[in-house]
Amino acid sequence: MPLFEYQCLECDRVFEVFVQRVDPMAAPVCPGCEKTNVERLWSPFSGRNSGRGSCVTTSSGVG
């Protein structure tokens, strides 16, 4: 399930919501003030990196 981060435009609280199905008509409710005047924040993707590198180069031997 995707995890989206929102900021309430009424009380400035930032909160996260697990979304099972994206419905553009359904706005999440702020857990602080219970209003739906919220804005979705764009967070950078966080992934796990082993630090070993994953670049692979191959040579076809042609040329």
pLDDT of residue 50: 56
5-37 pLDDT, tens digit each: 999 999 999 999 987 776 767 889 999 999 999
Residue 52, in any domain of the structure: no
| Cα–Cα dist 33/12, whole Å | 10
52, amino acid identity:
R
Instruction: Provide the pLDDT for residue 59.
Output: 55
Q: What is the pLDDT of residue 35?
A: 97
Does residue 63 fall inside a structural domain? no
Q: For residue 21, is it within any domain?
A: yes
Tally the domains of the chain: 1
- Taking CB atoms within 8 Å and a gap of at least 24, the contacts of 20-28 are 28/4
Residue 50 lies in a domain: no
In this structure, is residue 58 part of a structural domain?
no
Q: Which domain holds residue 25?
A: 3-41
> What are the pLDDT digits (tens) for 36-61?
999 999 876 655 555 555 555 555 55
Look at residue 55 and tell me if it is in a domain.
Answer: no
